[in-house]
């Protein structure tokens, strides 16, 4: 660079430098290029590589353990000794980071409940029982009533901004007399926090997360959606309820579904059509409350997707042969006739994964408190003839998901057995470098002149020295630059 160009670039930098550090947020890296555009000094970009400040974020991953469960409760309310069954279903001996629970038929599917107004009572009762079960074991049971004040309806979404304000106000309280564990119990009230809840007639989803994760990670864009595709294609006796949320740089979608029943030829076609409708009509539109980070608008736009529920897929097999294989516990042979497996091979769920099934069919049991399948020979009077099938299933799609276990529980609460899966998932963390840790020399590769020996260059050297002193002062005391 000759002396004329060096002088010109130094003056431009000096002018830009003075202007930039009159602004209160001058250290924000993303603003540098904006300032250049505003000033119209396009030549400065040739001398100062401002783009070098916009460093690529460093990404890493963390592991989260997610429990996904599905249970058709046959229209029964959560009463009596169900807490014992729930404890066994949730496998609380090994607590996880996130619990995602899908229910079907939390209300009887009668005309009044299907076409009438939504009643949040049963959804609230289930949330109360789930919260109590989780937090009595791992949280603060004496604060359970306080925690439950936020789950008194059938449609709940976690508000990240509200939670941050709550955390901010709580952390300002004196904590010197409390250990971290004690303070978290006092200020947060429970081990698990309800993140989202949605009810549509009898289909219900409830998502719970460890409180500590709300401090550790950025949880954003929690949204819910329901799709009714039952009677006439638009009533809520069948369909889905879904939750979308982002944890750091990874987006999750959880779909709890109840699909068309029936084991006659062609019934699987109705189920497939409903799956297609759920894919088509599920959406999570952006709103004014959303943050600047874009979130997926559709199911397949998410990084990790979990689809579960009473999917009602049956067996292409005669009843007596199915029961014979069940008696032999030949699950591999039985799965060869499974309708859902065929859909995974080349149908509506092509590419979706499911763990190996090593448990008996979950439907249909004869009656409450009974371990005998309905029907069979000889058939009891008034008993429905149903070929046993794995109606209750858990599928997943996306990268970074590993299934640890897939099992059913033995609760006799309904004519279905609850099914659960435990997953290990990878969450992408995005860590942006601190702008104040970036030395100014990294963005001024050609500004500082080489060693000068000509006396005629004294003026230019003085200007360069002034710039050097300003840069050095800024690096050593950045807060003082706000007053320049």
DSSP 397-431: EESSEEEEEEEE----SSSS--EEEEEEEEEEEEE
Residue 471 has pLDDT above 90, yes or no: no
> Residue 191, SS3?
coil
Residue 248 has pLDDT above 50, yes or no: yes
Taking residues 329-344, report their average pLDDT: 97
What is the rounded distance in angstroms from the CA atom of residue 396 to the CA atom of residue 349?
10
What is the rounded distance in angstroms from the CA atom of residue 336 to the CA atom of residue 302?
30
Contact 354, 394 (CB under 8 A): yes
Query: Higher confidence at residue 421 or residue 447?
Result: 421
Q: What is the DSSP string of 67-86?
A: EEEEEE-TT--S-TTHHHHH
**Average pLDDT over the chain, rounded to an integer:** 78
Q: What is the pLDDT of residue 155?
A: 73
Q: What is the pLDDT of residue 217?
A: 95
Q: Which helix or strand (DSSP H or E) is residue 196 part of?
A: strand 192-200
What is the rounded distance in angstroms from the CA atom of residue 157 to the CA atom of residue 178?
31
Render pLDDT for 351-382 as a digit per residue (tens, 0 to 9). 999 999 999 999 999 876 788 999 876 666 66
Between the CA atoms of 267, 269, 274 and 278, what dihedral angle is there, to the nearest 10 degrees?
140
Confidence bin at 139 (pLDDT 50/70/90) = low
Could you give the angle at the alpha carbon of 236 between the alpha carbons of 235 and 241, nearest 5°? 140
Confidence bin at 91 (pLDDT 50/70/90) = confident
Distances (CA, A) of 31 to 27, 116, 435, 445: 8, 54, 11, 19
Taking residues 411-424, report their average pLDDT: 96
Render pLDDT for 262-304 as a digit per residue (tens, 0 to 9). 999 999 999 999 999 999 999 999 988 787 778 999 999 999 9
Q: What is the pLDDT of residue 391?
A: 98
Q: What is the pLDDT of residue 448?
A: 41
Which tokens hold the place of 229? 């595709």
Contact 105, 74 (CB under 8 A): yes
- Sign (positive/negative) of CA torsion 6, 12, 15, 16? negative
Q: What is the pLDDT of residue 409?
A: 96
- Of the candidates 141, 109, 108, 103, which has an alpha carbon nearest to the alpha carbon of residue 124? 103
Which tokens hold the place of 325? 């294989």
Q: What percent of the chain has pLDDT over 90?
A: 56
Contact 122, 107 (CB under 8 A): yes
Q: What is the pLDDT of residue 157?
A: 78
pTM, two decimals, is 0.73
Q: What is the pLDDT of residue 475?
A: 53
Q: What is the pLDDT of residue 369?
A: 73
Q: What is the pLDDT of residue 92?
A: 83
Taking residues 329-353, report their average pLDDT: 97
Q: What percent of the chain has pLDDT over 70?
A: 65
Taking residues 67-96, report their average pLDDT: 90
Q: What is the pLDDT of residue 422?
A: 98
């Amino acid at each position: 660079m000759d002396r004329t160009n060096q002088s010109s670039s130094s003056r431009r930098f000096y002018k830009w430098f003075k202007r930039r550090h009159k602004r209160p947020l001058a250290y924000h890296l993303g603003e540098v290029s904006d300032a250049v555009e505003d000033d119209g000094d396009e030549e400065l970009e040739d001398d100062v590589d401002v783009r070098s400040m916009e460093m690529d974020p460093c990404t890493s991953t963390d592991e989260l353990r997610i429990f996904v469960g599905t249970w058709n409760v046959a229209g029964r309310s959560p009463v009596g000794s169900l807490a014992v069954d729930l404890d066994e279903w949730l496998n609380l001996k090994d607590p996880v980071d996130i619990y995602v629970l899908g229910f079907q038929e939390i209300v009887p599917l009668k005309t009044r409940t299907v076409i009438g107004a939504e009643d949040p009572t049963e959804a609230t009762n289930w949330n109360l029982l789930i919260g109590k079960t989780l937090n009595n074991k791992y949280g603060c049971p004496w604060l359970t009533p306080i925690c439950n004040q936020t789950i008194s309806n059938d449609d709940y979404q976690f508000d990240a901004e509200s939670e941050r304000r709550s955390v901010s106000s709580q952390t300002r309280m004196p904590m010197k007399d409390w250990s971290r564990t004690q303070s978290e119990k006092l200020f947060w009230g429970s081990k698990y926090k309800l993140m989202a809840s949605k009810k549509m007639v009898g289909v219900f989803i409830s998502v719970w997360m460890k409180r500590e994760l709300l401090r550790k990670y950025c949880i954003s864009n929690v949204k819910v959606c329901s799709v009714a595709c039952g009677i006439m294609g638009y009533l809520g006796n069948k369909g889905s309820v879904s939750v979308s949320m982002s944890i750091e740089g990874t987006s999750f979608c959880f779909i709890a579904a109840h699909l068309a029943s029936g084991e006659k030829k062609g019934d699987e076609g109705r189920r497939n059509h409903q799956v297609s409708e759920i894919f088509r009509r599920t959406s999570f539109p952006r709103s004014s409350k959303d943050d600047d980070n874009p979130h997926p608008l559709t199911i397949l736009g998410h990084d990790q997707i979990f689809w579960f529920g009473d999917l009602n897929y049956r067996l292409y097999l005669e009843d007596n042969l199915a029961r014979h294989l069940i008696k032999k516990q030949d699950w591999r042979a039985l799965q060869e006739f499974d309708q859902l497996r065929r859909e995974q091979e080349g149908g509506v769920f092509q590419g979706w994964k499911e763990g190996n099934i090593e448990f008996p069919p979950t439907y249909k049991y004869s009656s409450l408190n009974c371990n005998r399948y309905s029907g069979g020979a000889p058939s009891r009077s008034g008993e429905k003839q149903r070929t046993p099938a794995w109606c209750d299933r858990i599928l997943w799609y996306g990268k970074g998901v590993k299934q640890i276990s897939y099992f059913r529980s033995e609760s006799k609460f309904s004519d279905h057995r609850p099914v659960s899966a435990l997953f290990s998932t990878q969450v992408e963390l995005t860590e942006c470098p601190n702008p104040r840790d970036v030395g100014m020399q990294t963005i001024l590769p050609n500004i500082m002149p080489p060693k000068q020996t000509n006396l005629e260059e004294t003026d230019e050297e003085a200007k360069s020295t002034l710039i050097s002193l300003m840069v050095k002062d800024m690096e050593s005391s950045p807060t003082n630059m706000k007053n320049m």
